[in-house]
Structure 1
Amino acid sequence: MLTVGDPLWRSIEVVPATGSTNADLAARARRGESAGRVLVTDHQRAGRGRLGRTWTAPAGSSVAMSVLLRPERDPASWTWLPLLAGLAVADSLRAVADVPAVLKWPNDVLVDDAKVCGILAERVDGPAGPACVLGLGINVHLTADQLPVPTATSLALLRPDRRLARNDIIATVLATLALLYHRWQAGLDAELAAEYVARSGTLGRTVTVLGGDGARFTGEAIAVDPAGRLRVRTPSGVQTFAAGDVTHLR
């Protein structure tokens, strides 16, 4: 049985299989589901990522879960939510698996420059008002030939000497995310930005950012500001991104 002490999580539901935990919770949010719902599955058959990407993993090999939140803050500040989720995962994997997890702005967690977790944040509108569904996919037991792309990794590959339980990872991530979320709700954005920067694997690197309008910029990632936005120094000046698809250049 999976339990987490923080009252933020009102209900944790585990299902054997589903298409997408994000899609399932988004549908519930549109029907007025209250905040604090967590949906976990042993087998996600049609997981979704940014820019419409899809992915699958063998049953029992990954953590696939989504949480439903209805923040009291202005939706313009909700760009912080995937960053909080990434920070929660990075700190949890450091604690549970003893791996040097870092953050790739805005949606990925990396270890040794390989992706171990992807995050998808979706705003959902309905009669009960706006909600955010945060989806997290963590590669736990995947073997090398099961990885979705060559640039991915798994905790089993990183720590073959350690027996890792998915329930321990889920419980730690949820507890850590709840603490970060409460601080964000309290307006402690500058503190959270400093902690995010301390875990960043993007800052100081040359990156290419594909913006939502299709424009592409290349330059040095120099800061994550208190609003959670990435600042990149490019030949045409410093550009600030609230969202975007980032590629780390070697």
Structure 2
Amino acid sequence: MSEQTPVPANGGSPRRRLLRIGGIVLLLVVAGVAVALAASGGGRAGTAGGSAAPAGSTATAGAGDAAAPGSSASTGPGGIHINNKDVASAGTTALALPDIRPAPASARSAAETTLTADDAHYRQELATGEGLLGRAGFAAWAAGALQDSRNQGDFARAGADFTATDRPPALNTWHADSDTAAAAVQQFAKDGEGHGSTVATRTDAADAVAYLADADQVAAQVGSGK
């Protein structure tokens, strides 16, 4: 009769006991990992929920923030209430226009008479010079024309008829036209001395006539108080 190997009293071989212990350790490790993952996921969810809350809290405005009728409003950084109508009008300054009143009719009429007489003077002076071109009397005429500054005195005389508040702006325009016309007459005197009618003298005469015509029109504006 053969001998039988006795079964250990603890219910298994050493190898089986090691396998059982390893399985228990593995289960404990898996359970620990699961608990750690659950804790990490819950923390992230709580953070997201906490950061979303302020966005909803700023969307509601109080009853006292309502915009006034006829105006628009918006909410600036930090929940500050902004009235767009007030912003649009900020920095606007009313312009104070000077008090301009027309000059008396007598003053305007007197100035217009002075200015148109001056235009007629230079127109006649030019006509005289054109008639003397190539003749002995042209040199004497040219000398007088080159010294003629009547338009300056007439400008000052016409300006004296007005005050600082009723002086017509057209008066300065007349002065500019008159200066150009007088300069053209003097250029005619220079170009015509010792010569007859030339392209230069005809150009000078045409310029003088054109600017004197403009000056006449501006003189009428002075008479109207413009």
Q: TM-score range by the shorter chain?
A: under 0.3
Q: TM-score, normalised by structure 2?
A: 0.24
Higher helix share: 2
| Greater strand fraction, Structure 1 or Structure 2 | 1
Larger Rg belongs to:
2
TM-score, normalised to structure 1, is: 0.22
